[in-house]
A and B are shown apart, each in its own frame.
Chain A
Amino acid sequence: MIEIDLDQTTIRDLNQRLHRLPADTNERAWHIFNPKGRHAIAVGLDLPITIAIDGHVGFYCGGMNKQAEILINGHAGPGVAENLMSGTVRVRGNASQSAGASARGGLLVVEGDTSSRCGISMKGADIVVGGSVGHMSAFMAQRGNLVVCGDAGRSLGDSIYEARLFVRGRVDSLGADCIQKEMRAEHLEALAKLLDRAGIRANPRDFKRYGSARKLYNFNVDHAAAY
């Protein structure tokens, strides 16, 4: 276990050190202390190592992560796991806005709530939120799955493409071209797997599915009001 105190080591040194690890490194388990809201902690990683961070992190923690497992024992600032490629980022507390923005693969788990724009522009990742998400979540969400065990704020899935949204609680309002869809056996199965991977206990049957009505896919003047 390698321990790093961010009051003693700079973010830059930490990230560079993590980037320079060889593929066969035996430095596979890292424990980071005193993040104190600092930004860009553990960004751009590309090895199957584990990073545990004790405390609250600032913006973009785990940004563009590949392969690594990052655990944040606290809250996360805006853009946590932005553009996630693979691997896992788990937030024990809450996450600020744009959690998982443009995330392409891998798994982001937020055990608490997220604020607005969770999964904005997501491109294939799986995002599972134990609590609620704020407004404009899944805005322009292209691919992937967003699971919300709590409620969703207004304009969920505005301008959504092919991402799948599962929400257990209340949805304040649906965004342009986002509609409720039928939950079939394959969806229940997929959702069960997502919850299982996230380590969150919930009954898939309690969720509703939302997705694109696909009316904005090719412009039609009769749908102009949706813009």
Chain B
Amino acid sequence: MCGIVGLYTKNPAFEQRLGDYLSSMLIEMTERGPDSAGIAVYRNPVPKGATKLTLHHADPNYPWPQLAHDLQEELGDKVGIEVRGSHAVMVAHEEYPVISAWLHHHHPEVAVVSVGDKIEIYKEMGLPADVVNRFHLRDLKGTHALGHTRMATESAVTTEHSHPFSTGLDLCLVHNGSLSNHNRLREWLKKRDIEIRTDNDTEVAAGYLTWQLREGASLEEALEAALKDLDGFYTFAVGTKDGFAVLRDPIACKHAVLAETDDWVAMATEYRSIATLPGADKAVIWEPVPAQIYSWSRA
């Protein structure tokens, strides 16, 4: 049970203030989600052949530069690292499976929060305003971002249980609602080598989408399949490299509002988040209908 926000910019001027605007949207959703908060930002695309990872460790003094240095030695190529709070964004000129194997072997204590060309995910326990400050989210520039504030329903309040959940390269999921068949799905997905670390229902949904995409489905096909295979109440927002998608379940009790101006497209659980954006009072506002996929992308 939560608040979801999403912002997609339509022009470069707006990209400069992406983090600032999204942070304000996120903080409006504090009452819906006082337990933890997180955002996924799409920014600074890495060159072809390189990979960007967001890593997390709870220790505020974790020696990130040392880790980057060690990987650099291993790869024989420069590895960049940018530390934000308890997370670090690392860029290496290598494919993900190689980096993943190295991390597993040498630094199993570090959690991989997101992987891709553009995506970065920051998430932690605490009030949205605190999470925004800890990660300096207002400074971030980028093309689009999703955010989530969490009121935990059935699983624990930890960083690992916070949204957004990364489901694959440049892919992430935020969810408002409560699934009812996620426990069986979790077992089923684990048998198919989808890694699911927590008892959180959203992580199962994220894993389900990853599995669908791995099997060759497009994002639209994966979401259509989700309508059949996932049971319960949900509003999903999925982040992709080029944009985002929104889907509500057929019963559609969990709210969602969409809004669009010449500068942006925004999505939120409640209008008051959208009201914080410049030009909101002139925006076209509508509600997504149930069981219908809405998507925006730059392609």
A37, B270: Cβ atoms under 8 Å?
Answer: yes
Give every chain A residue within 8 A of B255 (Cβ-Cβ).
Answer: 77-78, 96-97
- Given contacts A116-B290, A135-B290, is CB(A36)–CB(B252) below 8 Å? no
Cα(A82)–Cα(B274), bound, Å:
23
Question: Within 8 Å of chain A (Cβ to Cβ): is B294?
Answer: no
Q: How far is the CB of A210 from chain B (nearest CB, A)?
A: 21
B290, A37: Cβ atoms under 8 Å?
Answer: no
Give every chain B residue within 8 A of A116 (Cβ-Cβ).
Answer: 252, 290
Please, what's the 1-or-0 string for A36-62, where 1 marks a CB less than 8 Å from any CB in chain B?
A: 111100000000000000011011000
Give every chain A residue within 8 A of B287 (Cβ-Cβ).
Answer: 94, 96-97, 115
Interchain Cβ contacts within 8 Å, total number: 46
Please, what's the 1-or-0 string for B264-276, where 1 marks a CB less than 8 Å from any CB in chain A?
A: 0000001111111
CB under 8 Å from chain B, chain A span 81-102: 93-94, 96-97
Q: How far is the CB of A91 from chain B (nearest CB, A)?
A: 13
> What is the chain B residue whose CB lies nearest that of A134?
B289
- Given contacts A96-B255, A116-B252, is CB(A56)–CB(B290) below 8 Å? no
- Given contacts A78-B255, A135-B252, is CB(A94)–CB(B286) below 8 Å? yes
B285, A77: Cβ atoms under 8 Å?
Answer: no
Cα(A188)–Cα(B274), bound, Å:
42
B286, A77: Cβ atoms under 8 Å?
Answer: no
A56, B275: Cβ atoms under 8 Å?
Answer: yes
> What is the chain A residue whose CB lies nearest that of B281?
A55
Most buried by A among B255, B270, B275, B287: B287
CB under 8 Å from chain B, chain A span 73-132: 75, 77-78, 93-94, 96-97, 115-116
- Interface residues of A, count at CB 8 A: 20
Cα(A37)–Cα(B271), bound, Å:
5
Q: How far is the CB of A125 from chain B (nearest CB, A)?
A: 22
Q: How far is the CB of A107 from chain B (nearest CB, A)?
A: 23
Give every chain A residue within 8 A of B276 (Cβ-Cβ).
Answer: 36
B270, A58: Cβ atoms under 8 Å?
Answer: yes
- Which residue of the partner chain, among B252, B274, B286, B289, contacts A37 with CB atoms under 8 Å? B274
Give every chain A residue within 8 A of B281 (Cβ-Cβ).
Answer: 55-56
- Which residue of the partner chain, among B253, B275, B289, contacts A36 with CB atoms under 8 Å? B275
Q: How far is the CB of B234 from chain A (nearest CB, A)?
A: 15
B285, A94: Cβ atoms under 8 Å?
Answer: yes
CB under 8 Å from chain A, chain B span 229-276: 252-253, 255, 257, 270-276
Cα(A75)–Cα(B272), bound, Å:
12
Q: How far is the CB of A205 from chain B (nearest CB, A)?
A: 30
B272, A36: Cβ atoms under 8 Å?
Answer: yes
B285, A37: Cβ atoms under 8 Å?
Answer: no
B272, A38: Cβ atoms under 8 Å?
Answer: yes
B252, A58: Cβ atoms under 8 Å?
Answer: no
B252, A56: Cβ atoms under 8 Å?
Answer: no
> What is the chain A residue whose CB lies nearest that of B276?
A36
Q: How far is the CB of B51 from chain A (nearest CB, A)?
A: 40
B286, A58: Cβ atoms under 8 Å?
Answer: no
Q: How far is the CB of A136 from chain B (nearest CB, A)?
A: 8
Give every chain B residue within 8 A of A38 (Cβ-Cβ).
Answer: 272
Give every chain A residue within 8 A of B289 (Cβ-Cβ).
Answer: 115, 134, 153
Give every chain A residue within 8 A of B271 (Cβ-Cβ).
Answer: 37, 56, 58, 75, 77
Cα(A178)–Cα(B272), bound, Å:
36
Give every chain A residue within 8 A of B272 (Cβ-Cβ).
Answer: 36-39, 58
Give every chain A residue within 8 A of B273 (Cβ-Cβ).
Answer: 37
Most buried by A among B252, B255, B257, B272: B272
> What is the chain A residue whose CB lies nearest that of B287?
A115
Give every chain A residue within 8 A of B270 (Cβ-Cβ).
Answer: 37, 58-59, 77
B274, A75: Cβ atoms under 8 Å?
Answer: no
Give every chain B residue within 8 A of A36 (Cβ-Cβ).
Answer: 272, 275-276
Give every chain B residue within 8 A of A94 (Cβ-Cβ).
Answer: 285-287
Cα(A58)–Cα(B285), bound, Å:
13
Cα(A58)–Cα(B31), bound, Å:
14
What are 22 contact pairs spanning A and B, CB under 8 A?
Answer: A37-B270, A37-B272, A37-B275, A38-B272, A55-B281, A56-B275, A59-B270, A75-B285, A77-B255, A77-B270, A78-B255, A93-B285, A94-B285, A94-B287, A96-B287, A97-B252, A97-B253, A97-B255, A115-B252, A115-B287, A115-B289, A116-B252
By Cβ-Cβ distance, the 5 closest A-B pairs, closest first, are A37-B272, A37-B271, A36-B275, A37-B275, A115-B287
Known A56-B281, A96-B255, A97-B287; 4 more pairs at CB < 8 Å: A36-B275, A56-B271, A56-B285, A135-B252
Chain A residues with a Cβ under 8 A of chain B: 36-39, 55-56, 58-59, 75, 77-78, 93-94, 96-97, 115-116, 134-135, 153
Chain B residues with a Cβ under 8 A of chain A: 252-253, 255, 257, 270-276, 281, 285-287, 289-290
